[in-house]
Amino acid sequence: MARATFAGGCFWGTEEAFRTLNGVIKTVVGYMGGTTENPSYEMVCTGQTGHAEVVDIEFDPAVISYQQLLECFWAVHNPTSLNFQGVDRGTQYRSAVFYHSDDQRQQAEESKSALAASGIHLAPIVTEITPAGPFWRAEEYHQQYFMKQKPDFML
């Protein structure tokens, strides 16, 4: 098994996009990239902890590649939005790839460069590519939030 961590705005939607992919074993939402230990959602929302809302993914590289995860990441958010996605504003909603190995760093940088060269986006890609740091699990009510909101008849 391998691990990947992405920040693409509100972690609820980002998690849902990855959770359903074949080869993804587990998704957990939380916080990464900041300086405060064990931050709460309320603390992160102030923008003063430096954390981003992230989805931490455990995946089987024999079933889904890191490159495929990157492709999903680029597709589910706007990588040209600096510190916001949709109506969510603040550094906690920034676009970031938190890499866990040199290979992931290289793949993320190459993927970002290819996306920028593709001309799909008219504005520059502002996604950070940075080493993974401590991951702090978000409160339980944030985990698989969209799935918890489905009415029983949709399950």
SS3 per-residue string spanning the chain: CEEEEEEECCHHHHHHHHHCCCCEEEEEEEEECCCCCCCCHHHHHCCCCCCEEEEEEEECCCCCCHHHHHHHHHHCCCCCCCCEECCEECHHHCEEEEECCHHHHHHHHHHHHHHHHHCCCCCCCCCEEEECCCCEECCHHHCCHHHHHCCHHHC
Of 10, 17, 96, 97, the active-site residue reads 10
Determine whether 45 is an active site residue: no
Active site residues: 10
